[in-house]
A = this chain, B = another copy of it.
């Protein structure tokens, strides 16, 4: 069987200029990065401002399991299938982080015959957006420490700096560090730490910014820490929002690539779906809506994390809400949710499918609360049996949700036609009637409680002492009307990763509240949320290479 990179390298790519010409994008509207990647200019984006919007399809999933769900693969395959049935379609995806690529995953650009290309570039440096974000983030860090060193005119408390540093790598040894050592010429000693770049607030900002001016405003609003007197210090107090915007002036432009089948795709921005909102950029999604009749986009992790944030945080920044939500599930993952161990997934187990369906049903029910029609996509695996599939379809019928099989990994566009037709029919039959889950004017406690009760199924929310004192500070600073960005394990509806299926009656514990004024939300941390992954014992890097002709080897 061919690996993803072998399939990818076997495709004869068309010049990106050919791919985007049918969308009305000319050579002067783009900046090429090689022949197969391009950035769309701000002028072109601006010129589309009054274009009518096409339909928006949000792809999300059940809670992820080690069995794998293939959400990106379905997103890409669904778009290819929509193209195949004659719909003018675009994709709006997140761009992958290099850290996990070097670690476990090996890549994040779809899989099998549903990939965005050139996958080697997308998985490595792509058009440099991640590097620009890393640089802007660490430039701010250096400017903060320089401010301390040069006299600390603003009176920043070095113990209360919340702006850490970042690298786009999995590097656990940088989680907790002390810096400024080595004597008075080398800065002020203090504790610090590094997150992975995709966890940077600047990544979230880039993905929510509507243009350069809005980007600069958001950057100016970042809270980097507190003074000895406890008042917040903003980036605008340091007067460096202009420099940070300059560093990001190209990163904000959406990247254009193509799928194996030549469907045009934006791949732009990629914030973590736990610590941040987990969606690709507003600019890319918005622009896709105006260029195509159907835009397929994706939210991170399960629908409880990614889709909730797409709908409550990102959608208010979009010209329209999704017209349909596709929830991806696999028979294997449902069986895991039904209690089957990973090494027993190859055996037929209809009862486990039915039992694990509770997880999927909860996500369907949750998404319906937003007033948007839902479709279930079953990402087929060779081990799925007919009985299992029939059982799952019966379960779906029981809650009146349309369901379609998809085999895009193996069969490409053709394997997504049933799903594409189901989605189109659903959109045509049932108009969306979007409503947010909460209003920004509600109190922080109320907003968190609504999410915990309505989406997670919690019976009670407990705020730890630290969170309570932070809440008081947030209210005092007038930041309490911001939406909430929940930081929670992706593996369960609850804050306990071992609680699979559809748990109820549990308590949620809020440990910390972190204001992200630039992004425009308050992060509510439940349990330990990892913002800097580590490498495994045998990292994927050990298998990577490049041949003498410059071709990537072992990227998957």
A interface list, Cβ under 8 A from B: 31-35, 42, 98, 102, 124-125, 128, 131-132, 134-135, 138-139, 141-143, 145-146, 148-151, 167-182, 185-188, 211-213, 216, 239-240, 242-243, 245-247, 249-250, 534-535, 537, 539, 541-546, 548-550, 552-555
A124 CB contacts on chain B under 8 angstroms: 246-247
A98 CB contacts on chain B under 8 angstroms: 135, 139
A239 CB contacts on chain B under 8 angstroms: 542
A541:B139 contact, CB within 8 angstroms = yes
Q: Which of B32, B176, B545 contacts A182 (CB 8 A)?
A: B176
A181 CB contacts on chain B under 8 angstroms: 175-178
Q: Shortest distance in angstroms between A148's beta carbon and chain B's nearest beta carbon?
A: 8
**Bound CA–CA A492/B312 (angstroms):** 62
A539 CB contacts on chain B under 8 angstroms: 143, 146
Given contacts A243-B102, A545-B243, contact A178 B177 (CB under 8 A): yes
Given contacts A169-B138, A212-B548, A546-B249, contact A150 B537 (CB under 8 A): yes
**Bound CA–CA A102/B124 (angstroms):** 26
Q: Which of B35, B185, B549 contacts A172 (CB 8 A)?
A: B185
Q: Which residue of B lies closest to A153 (CB)?
A: B537
**Bound CA–CA A213/B544 (angstroms):** 15
B31:A35 contact, CB within 8 angstroms = yes
**Bound CA–CA A535/B173 (angstroms):** 26
B169:A135 contact, CB within 8 angstroms = yes
B180:A546 contact, CB within 8 angstroms = no
**Bound CA–CA A185/B539 (angstroms):** 17
Q: Which residue of B lies closest to A545 (CB)?
A: B242
Q: Which residue of B lies closest to A535 (CB)?
A: B146
Main secondary structure of the interface of A (DSSP, over half): mixed
The contact sample of 20 A-B pairs, CB cut-off 8 A, is: A42-B550, A125-B135, A139-B169, A139-B541, A142-B169, A142-B170, A142-B174, A142-B535, A146-B534, A148-B173, A173-B188, A177-B177, A185-B534, A240-B542, A242-B545, A243-B544, A243-B545, A246-B552, A246-B553, A246-B555
Number of copies: 2
A131:B138 contact, CB within 8 angstroms = no
Given contacts A182-B176, A534-B146, A535-B143, contact A550 B125 (CB under 8 A): no
Q: Shortest distance in angstroms between A265's beta carbon and chain B's nearest beta carbon?
A: 20
A247 CB contacts on chain B under 8 angstroms: 124-125
Q: Shortest distance in angstroms between A182's beta carbon and chain B's nearest beta carbon?
A: 3
A175:B171 contact, CB within 8 angstroms = no
Q: Which of B149, B186, B542, B553 contacts A176 (CB 8 A)?
A: B186
**Bound CA–CA A534/B150 (angstroms):** 11
Given contacts A32-B32, A546-B242, contact A149 B534 (CB under 8 A): yes
A549 CB contacts on chain B under 8 angstroms: 42
A125 CB contacts on chain B under 8 angstroms: 128, 131-132, 135, 247, 250
Counting chain B CB atoms within 10 Å of each CB, which of A33, A180, A213 scores highest?
A33
Q: Shortest distance in angstroms between A89's beta carbon and chain B's nearest beta carbon?
A: 27
**Bound CA–CA A154/B426 (angstroms):** 59
A537 CB contacts on chain B under 8 angstroms: 150-151
A216 CB contacts on chain B under 8 angstroms: 546
Q: Which of B102, B178, B242 contacts A139 (CB 8 A)?
A: B102
**Bound CA–CA A539/B171 (angstroms):** 30
Q: Which residue of B lies closest to A42 (CB)?
A: B550
Q: Which residue of B lies closest to A174 (CB)?
A: B179
**Bound CA–CA A544/B35 (angstroms):** 32
**Bound CA–CA A148/B242 (angstroms):** 41
**Bound CA–CA A549/B253 (angstroms):** 12
Besides the known contacts A128-B128, A135-B169, A142-B171, 6 further A-B residue pairs in the complex with CB atoms under 8 A apart: A32-B32, A102-B142, A125-B135, A131-B131, A141-B171, A178-B178
